[in-house]
Structure 1
Amino acid sequence: MPDGIENRHRTVALGVAGAVSVGLAWLEFLLIRQQLAVGLWVIAVAVVAIVLARLSLAAKLAVLGTVLGAVTVVTQVAWLVTDIHALWVTSLTASTTLGFFLLASAWAGRSGAFRRRTAIAIPVGVVAVVAMVASAVVITTAADPAPLVRSLQAVGESNSFEPDTRTATTVVDGAGFTNDVEYGSTLPNSFLDIYIADNDPSVTRPTYVMVHGGGWIVGDKADGAPSADTDSSSWADPMLDAGYNLVSVNYAFAPSYRFPTQTIQLGQAMEFLETNAGKYGLDMTRVVLAGTSAGGHIVGNYATVQTNPDYARALGIEPTLDRNAVKAIVFDSAALDIGRAGAPQSPSPSNGFFFDIAARSYLDDTDTALLAQANVIDNVTADFPPSFISDGNTGTFPDQAAELSAELDRVGVANRLNLYSKNEVTLDHGFMSVGSRWTDDYSRLKIEFLSGVV
């Protein structure tokens, strides 16, 4: 083969290997919980890159390419074996740097005439800049998701000591609605909404307290509630119709406020409601705590503090509500084991990525002791309240739901596990927020369970 053709082939090979190396680094960032499958490809491409560098580049550049490839291989293997987060970040950095080194070498190896063509050089330069910016975001977010999360919060829902609107009492869908009641002053987002069934506070009804989801980093108390800000009423209307008064609670967002701040804050809300029960027409001797997704973890952790004195002491949180007043817990697509938040069942890359970023914002998931402390499943006791546990089956946590149900069975706590087979229907994370016959069935079964324990 003529030297020119051979050099051209090597240049193309360098470019392809570089692009694949960068692409795999991005893919591994997005699919961190599928680390083995992607990691093996990262290692394979790094080995190929070492060979190409030694065959195609001048001595000094070949040494640099070899070093970058070796660092990628060693740190990737170490990450796969040890699961140490810092090694993963180092491997991503090395793999990305290797990729751009190969791409730059391939560009330098093109003919001078080709490189001088403005029509080619300009778009290549733009793509290179975009790719480098994207890689910088990938690496910094892998190291610490806080900057990305705070940037998103800056243009959306964020921590604030100011209510969304002035507190007022109106009627919404026949229910008395008091919005943005401040329940605390030491933490942001300390506001709640109260709904009184039939707008009649003189009737004694159990109180259903809902804590919203959103990965501890977004979300709002109006989600799924019959307020003027949303069309959805999936969780609220059935409970009002069943004879419950409702309270929907906001809480401080991670990463500025991390575990167990939200548990403490829910305690502040419960103390406020108990103190002001007469003012708002609430019965706080019969309370159901419900949480969706991240909110499920918060209510589960709060219930554990109320019912497990040893756990409360270890966490350094005082119980704030009489255990006998908490009649039941409702878990809707709850993230119960934070260490597995980024690994939903029936893997969903988008859900897995969001859950992983959210979990790392909520707590230090490299701290195994902290993960164990935050695990709701492993810390329940025989005094835990009766629980209704439900989830979808795609991109969510039915495995964790089943494990909690099994643990409650083991310690003798009444519970009902409500899961639907994928042979029947595909239900996503938080399917309860979408109107369907399956949501109707979920609501019927939940109310039926609660009627036996509240």
Structure 2
Amino acid sequence: MTTALAATGGGSVLLAWLEFVLIRQQLAVGLWVIAMAVVAIWLVSSDAGKPAAVGTSLGAAAVVTQVAWLVTGFHALWVLCLTAAIALGFFLLASAWAGRSVSSSGRAGTRRAVAVVPAGFAAASAVVVSALVITTAASPAPLIRSLHALGQSNSFESDAPTRTTVVDGARVTTDVEYGSALPNSFLDIYIADNDASISRPTYVSVHGGGWIVGDKADGAPSTDSGGASWAGPMLDAGYNVVSLNYAFAPQYRFPTQTTQLGQAMRFLDTNADRYGLDMSRVVLAGTSAGGHIVGNYAIVQTNPDYARALGVEPNLDRNALKAIVFESAALDVGRAGTPQSPSPSNGFFFDIAARSYLDTTDTALLAQANVTDNATADFPPSFISDGNTGTFPDQAAELSAKLNRVGVANRLNLYSKNEARLDHGFMAVSSQWTDDYNRLRIEFLRDFV
């Protein structure tokens, strides 16, 4: 009985942890949680020596809340079922330890004393992990704020003063402040061939990072090296490049980043002559979370009803917005935690990020934030690309199909797993597939810019 209680208790806690992490497999794991709770109820009911009422109550709570969560998808029920399953597990483990203590004596008691320290450490660690699981399930904000305290965060101060240098033959002006109302309002400007006298289209890049991390130096990378090299293909193709930062969630949530991109575009338009930019020919590009931001911004510029509903003013001439580039874009935030070709780590991170960015329990808000569903026939021509593992090729294909239906020029660039295994944001890694991606992207833009 002691062994059965310990195994069932440990299993209940581990399954709750797994349900928290394995976003895509929550149904399967949830069914195992229910089965474990049923076994737990039977165990405590059959052993008169245990406080059966407590165990059966916790088991029943785990079963009822788990079933309700799986049926309704109501977020609060998920938090409750995780809490009930973890509490049940600790109750069973405590019961097993108490039973072990009663049955031990003499030399076994000495062995028990030696086991107290590692058992206590394991129990304390399990309590800490469980507390983190429950609090993060309820809200990821404390976890994200802790991460921000250790690294990238919201700030009204730039990392360095504005300076201009020449890198790889391009003039690079870094940490230009484009606004003061929101944090991280800084951008970098790359002028091809260090020659601002030549009129070139402007390629504006918005970085990824799940709306909670990331930096403009990452941009929409084309290689995994630093300096101006990530922008190299676009500079070589005859573009000037701008890469910008934006405020991080959860302190600033959707649609703040859309509004902030508008502030950056207004600044660039006002200061075009100062920096040698042609803002009459603009391409917007976004990677991952940045893809959602530029897509949402493009809808605001092209769908007046949507702009009014969102409360964001259009501020870019539609004729100036020549095209959009989507790189592994999260177009439907509600499905961010379920990438194709499941990657547990990506799914977990994307889910945490999406819940930080907006209230994913609000179906009306999710519908409003859906780029694909809100795109119209006035949406700009779009180049849409993604990898095939732990990312969103299904969402990329859905956007392409929608644009085809409404008559918007687009190109869907996906690669089969038979060709190569390409991860989320594969464009950040030097490879033949990145080279092919760059060639096709530039070819597509040539027809519209």
Q: After TM superposition, is the score higher than 0.5? A: yes
Q: Does 1:31 align with 2:26?
A: no
Q: Does 1:448 align with 2:443?
A: yes
Partner of 1:433: 428
**Could you tell me how far 1:225 is from its partner in structure 2?**
7.5
Closer, same or farther: CA 92–204 of 1 in aligned 2, 3 Å = same
State the Cα deviation string for residues 236-261 of structure 1 (Å, max 9, x = none).
11000001000001000000000000
Aligned counterparts of 1:225 and 1:133: Cα–Cα separation in 2: 38
CA contact (8 A) 2:5 2:95 kept: yes
Which one-letter code corresponds to 2:343 in the other structure? S
State the Cα deviation string for residues 117-148 of structure 1 (Å, max 9, x = none).
33211100000000000000000000000000
What does residue range 234-253 of structure 1 map to in structure 2 within 5 Å? 235-253=230-248
Partner of 1:313: 308
State the Cα deviation string for residues 24-54 of structure 1 (Å, max 9, x = none).
0000000123211101000000000000011
Q: Does 1:165 align with 2:160?
A: yes
**Could you tell me how far 1:231 is from its partner in structure 2?**
2.5
**Could you tell me how far 1:55 is from its partner in structure 2?**
1.2
Aligned counterparts of 1:194 and 1:225: Cα–Cα separation in 2: 14
**Could you tell me how far 1:112 is from its partner in structure 2?**
3.7
Partner of 1:182: 177
Closer, same or farther: CA 54–232 of 1 in aligned 2, 3 Å = farther
CA contact (8 A) 1:232 1:433 kept: no
Which one-letter code corresponds to 1:379 in the other structure? N
Partner of 1:5: none
Aligned counterparts of 1:98 and 1:57: Cα–Cα separation in 2: 17
CA contact (8 A) 2:216 2:243 kept: yes
CA contact (8 A) 1:224 1:233 kept: no
Partner of 1:284: 279
What does residue range 154-303 of structure 1 map to in structure 2 within 5 Å? 154-223=149-218, 231=226, 235-303=230-298
State the Cα deviation string for residues 380-424 of structure 1 (Å, max 9, x = none).
011000000000000000000000000000000000000000111
State the Cα deviation string for residues 332-376 of structure 1 (Å, max 9, x = none).
000000010000000000000000000000000000000000000
Q: 1:365 aligns with which of 360, 366, 369?
A: 360
Aligned counterparts of 2:104 and 2:297: Cα–Cα separation in 1: 67
Q: 1:335 aligns with which of 325, 330, 334?
A: 330
Partner of 2:37: 46
Partner of 2:133: 138
Which one-letter code corresponds to 2:248 in the other structure? F
Does the residue aligned with 2:323 lie in a helix, a strand or coil? strand
State the Cα deviation string for residues 98-125 of structure 1 (Å, max 9, x = none).
0000000000000343465332111000
CA contact (8 A) 1:183 1:192 kept: yes
Closer, same or farther: CA 185–64 of 1 in aligned 2, 3 Å = same
Once structures 1 and 2 are overlaid, which stretch shifts more, 112-121 or 122-131? 112-121
CA contact (8 A) 2:167 2:228 kept: no
CA contact (8 A) 1:210 1:291 kept: yes
Does the residue aligned with 1:303 lie in a helix, a strand or coil? helix
Q: Does 1:101 align with 2:91?
A: yes
Closer, same or farther: CA 440–24 of 1 in aligned 2, 3 Å = same
Aligned counterparts of 2:49 and 2:160: Cα–Cα separation in 1: 67
Aligned counterparts of 1:132 and 1:95: Cα–Cα separation in 2: 13
Aligned counterparts of 1:351 and 1:123: Cα–Cα separation in 2: 33
Aligned counterparts of 1:225 and 1:30: Cα–Cα separation in 2: 28
User: Cα RMSD over matched residues?
Assistant: 1.4
Aligned counterparts of 1:314 and 1:365: Cα–Cα separation in 2: 18
Aligned counterparts of 1:196 and 1:31: Cα–Cα separation in 2: 44
Q: How many residues in Structure 1 have an aligned counterpart in Structure 2?
A: 443
Partner of 2:54: 64
Does the residue aligned with 1:188 lie in a helix, a strand or coil? coil
Partner of 1:7: none
Q: Which runs of 5+ in 2 are unaligned?
A: none
Which one-letter code corresponds to 1:223 in the other structure? D
Q: Does 1:82 align with 2:72?
A: yes
Aligned counterparts of 1:115 and 1:353: Cα–Cα separation in 2: 43
Aligned counterparts of 2:41 and 2:220: Cα–Cα separation in 1: 58
Q: Does 1:401 align with 2:391?
A: no
CA contact (8 A) 1:391 1:397 kept: yes
Once structures 1 and 2 are overlaid, which stretch shifts more, 234-243 or 10-19? 234-243
State the Cα deviation string for residues 259-285 of structure 1 (Å, max 9, x = none).
000000000000000000000000000
CA contact (8 A) 1:222 1:230 kept: no
Closer, same or farther: CA 121–415 of 1 in aligned 2, 3 Å = same
Aligned counterparts of 1:168 and 1:143: Cα–Cα separation in 2: 43
Aligned counterparts of 1:209 and 1:291: Cα–Cα separation in 2: 8
Closer, same or farther: CA 57–443 of 1 in aligned 2, 3 Å = farther
Q: Which runs of 5+ in 1 are unaligned?
A: 1-9
Aligned counterparts of 1:352 and 1:318: Cα–Cα separation in 2: 33
Q: 2:410 aligns with which of 407, 415, 424?
A: 415
Closer, same or farther: CA 115–415 of 1 in aligned 2, 3 Å = farther
Aligned counterparts of 1:251 and 1:275: Cα–Cα separation in 2: 19
Once structures 1 and 2 are overlaid, which stretch shifts more, 262-271 or 149-158? 149-158
CA contact (8 A) 1:234 1:434 kept: no
Closer, same or farther: CA 360–139 of 1 in aligned 2, 3 Å = same
Q: 2:81 aligns with which of 74, 81, 91?
A: 91
Aligned counterparts of 2:159 and 2:441: Cα–Cα separation in 1: 31
Partner of 1:353: 348
Aligned counterparts of 1:391 and 1:234: Cα–Cα separation in 2: 21
Q: Does 1:390 align with 2:385?
A: yes
Which one-letter code corresponds to 2:74 in the other structure? I
Does the residue aligned with 2:319 lie in a helix, a strand or coil? helix
